[in-house]
Amino acid sequence: MTAKDEIQNLARLLRESDHTLALTGAGISTASGIPDFRSRGSGRWEKVDPAQVCSVQAFRRDPAAFWNYNLEWWLACLRAEPNPAHHVLARLQQEGLLLGVITQNIDGLHVRAGSRTWEVHGHLRTCRCLGCGRQHPFDFVSEQFQAGKNPPRCPCGDLLRPDVVLFGDMLGEDFQAATQVLAGCQLLVVVGSSLQVYPVAALPRFARQLVIVNRDPTPWDDKAVLVLRDDIVRVFEELAATLGLS
């Protein structure tokens, strides 16, 4: 099958399904300048194990070191802009071809592109106090950090943590909501995920048909009706052209 046939096949599957969702991972945001964890050569995983530095345990052991390590890439996420793949997914929803996006990303780019989004690993819009539970805008943390106050604290004096799901955390209500919206899913389009982080990696089992758009192989490839090992932005720009979306 040529690349063009594959895109036409994807367009047909989208038109035929009336319960379609996308499941996205870090790979959809690499074109926005945010490195993923597992791409060969550039993934963050190759430098450091996120389960060590991005975990509840790391936060408890040394909150200042936790913020020191993580804040830089989180601020890069906040500076990034949605790329054409985020925009095409939002457009597919407007056209009634997609119900929304379940994402593992914390960069908020699907929300900013206008998609209905279930952010199963949380987001960087807010942080919360471990003592009084109050939520603050994320800027409240970064401003303290930049003024040399590390670890950042709530006015009540207690420590602040990000509203992202850390290794060792339970998944939040968006994950529950995502499993509900996946019930009856006819088509799930996985975009830019190595499908190695559980329990999200188990979500494809809810879908009757699976399409995978990812440069590297995933453990679900043999179950998929279509696998596009191509650049994500290229795939979605060509898909938009094939569907006549401008």
**Catalytic residue IDs:** 121
Query: Which pair of tokens denotes residue 104?
Result: 């593992």
Q: By CB under 6 A, name the one of 185, 190, 193, 224 that touches ligand NAD.
A: 193
Q: How far apart are CA 209 and CA 36, in angstroms?
A: 26
62 - beta bridge partners? Answer: none
Nearer to ligand NAD, 17 or 105 (CB): 105
Q: Which one of ligand NAD, Zn ion, none is in contact with 154 (Cβ closer than 5 to 8 A by kind)? A: Zn ion
Q: How far is the CB of 140 from ligand NAD (least distance, A)?
A: 20
Query: Which pair of tokens denotes residue 213?
Result: 């758009």
Q: Which residues 158-177 are close enough to bind Zn ion by CB under 5 A?
A: 158
Q: How far is the CB of 132 from Zn ion (least distance, A)?
A: 3
Dihedral of CA atoms 18, 23, 28, 29 in degrees, nearest 10, equals 120
Residue 53 backbone dihedrals phi, psi, to 5 degrees: -95, -15
The strands making up 100-103's β-sheet, listed across from edge to edge, are 117-119, 100-103, 20-24, 187-191, 209-213, 226-228
Q: How far is the CB of 68 from ligand NAD (least distance, A)?
A: 18
Please give the radius of gyration of the chain, using alpha carbons only, rounded to the nearest integer.
19
36 near ligand NAD (CB under 6 A): yes
192 near ligand NAD (CB under 6 A): yes
Q: By CB under 6 A, name the one of 112, 116, 128, 215 that touches ligand NAD.
A: 215
129 near Zn ion (CB under 5 A): yes
Helices (H) and strands (E) in the chain, counts: 9, 9
Residues near ligand NAD, by CB under 6 A: 25-27, 29-31, 34, 36-39, 43, 77, 104-107, 121, 192-194, 196-197, 214-216, 231-232
